Amino acid sequence: MMGAGGMSFEQRKRVSIGLELAANPSILFLDEPTTGLDSLAAQSLVRNIRKIAASGRSIVCTIHQPSTVIFNSFDSLLLLKRGGRTVFFGTLGKKSSNLIEYFENAPEVKPIPLNVNPATWMLDIIGAGTSAEGPNGVDYAAHYANSTLAKVNLLHLETLMTPNEGSRMIDDAELERLNSFRYNASFMTQFVLLLKRIHLTYWRTPNYSVVRHFICLLIALIFGSAFPQQEYSTYIAVLSRSAVIYFTALACGILSMFLVGPVLFPERPAFYREQQSRMYAVWVYVLTLVLIEVRNFLFSPDVTRFIQISTDNIDSLSSPSLFVFHITILLYCWI
């Protein structure tokens, strides 16, 4: 995440969830959101997830070794074993009462001991799903397939798949039209927020701008001192000066390209994630990057041009020649 320095691991997870919510999704997938957090931070994060779910969004989480409090915070559970076979799928109930009742009614299962985590208990029963059968030799996937719970779930699935009266099939053209996503924010809002964010990123990394200006200054001094105050009366002198102008512009452009890499590359993960969430248009993002670079685009070439004009006697050339020289330096230093 860009600019994540100074934030705790829990804060980074919250910000990541907030970034996904900015796209206003109807369903949110979270892959082990509590992993790496202590007990207090994990409970705080799950409470926030519960608040999001209460707003009407469906949230699907994969969870790893949850505590009793966190496990009981979920509404439903899909428990799989090795091979992707379903062992349990249904509502947990208050304090996982539905889950406990289901497994206690299964063969060769002893009642859950007092003050035992239901999540740990169910994994112990099925052998953590790493083998075809549980420790007591029972295939709980086959038990679920023959259970009343599985039949109820299949009946509910068939009901959901039954078309409503008066419904019709959607053709490809209409499906493409429905899938065309409109951004929640206007292009102007996207532009303003992205401009502020990228400006803040450049402001927090001053080394990039300072080093870039210093290198352009150093290159101008080195190449400018190659032919100090030289006359342009011969063909060789003009050709040499053209080569100096070319290599000055080329060196400034290539070094600027290498310097901008460490600034932009850390943004790639955030950019790809935000594009998957359709938070903003790509062209708006590119436009803001271009506008932020205008400061360097105007300053560095002007410094380079001033030094070479002063040292290489280029000011003796005609005005069109100076204009071409200035535009060349501008383009190479920017690109």
Domain boundary among 151, 179, 207: 179
82 and 13 assigned to the same domain: yes
55 and 152 assigned to the same domain: yes
Residue 324, domain member (yes or no): yes
Q: Where are the beta strands (DSSP E) in the chain?
A: 27-31, 58-62, 76-81, 85-91
Q: What angle do CA 110, 116, 121 make, to 5 degrees?
A: 55
Q: Residue 3: what pLDDT? A: 45
174 and 191 assigned to the same domain: no
Residue 1, domain member (yes or no): no
Domain boundary among 179, 201, 225: 179
156 and 77 assigned to the same domain: yes
34 and 136 assigned to the same domain: yes
Residue 4, domain member (yes or no): no
Question: For the chain, what is the mean pLDDT?
Answer: 78
Residue 106, domain member (yes or no): yes
15 and 133 assigned to the same domain: yes
CA-closest candidate to residue 21, choices 39, 41, 48 = 48
Residue 293, domain member (yes or no): yes
Domain boundary among 179, 203, 223: 179
116 and 201 assigned to the same domain: no
175 and 192 assigned to the same domain: no
Instruction: Write out residues in the chain with pLDDT < 70, as ranges.
Output: 1-6, 129-136, 175, 177-181, 227-233, 238, 296-297, 300-303, 305-335
pTM: 0.56
Cα–Cα distance measured from residue 265 to residue 172, given in angstroms and rounded to the nearest whole number: 38
27 and 90 assigned to the same domain: yes
- Total number of domains in the chain: 2
Q: Residue 151: what pLDDT? A: 92
Cα–Cα distance measured from residue 239 to residue 205, given in angstroms and rounded to the nearest whole number: 40
Residue 3, domain member (yes or no): no
Q: Which domain holds residue 172?
A: 9-179
Q: Residue 192: what pLDDT? A: 92
Residue 108, domain member (yes or no): yes
101 and 83 assigned to the same domain: yes
Q: Residue 113: what pLDDT? A: 87
Residue 2, domain member (yes or no): no
- CA dist list (Å): 243 to 53, 202, 221, 246, 313: 66, 33, 15, 5, 15
285 and 198 assigned to the same domain: yes
210 and 83 assigned to the same domain: no
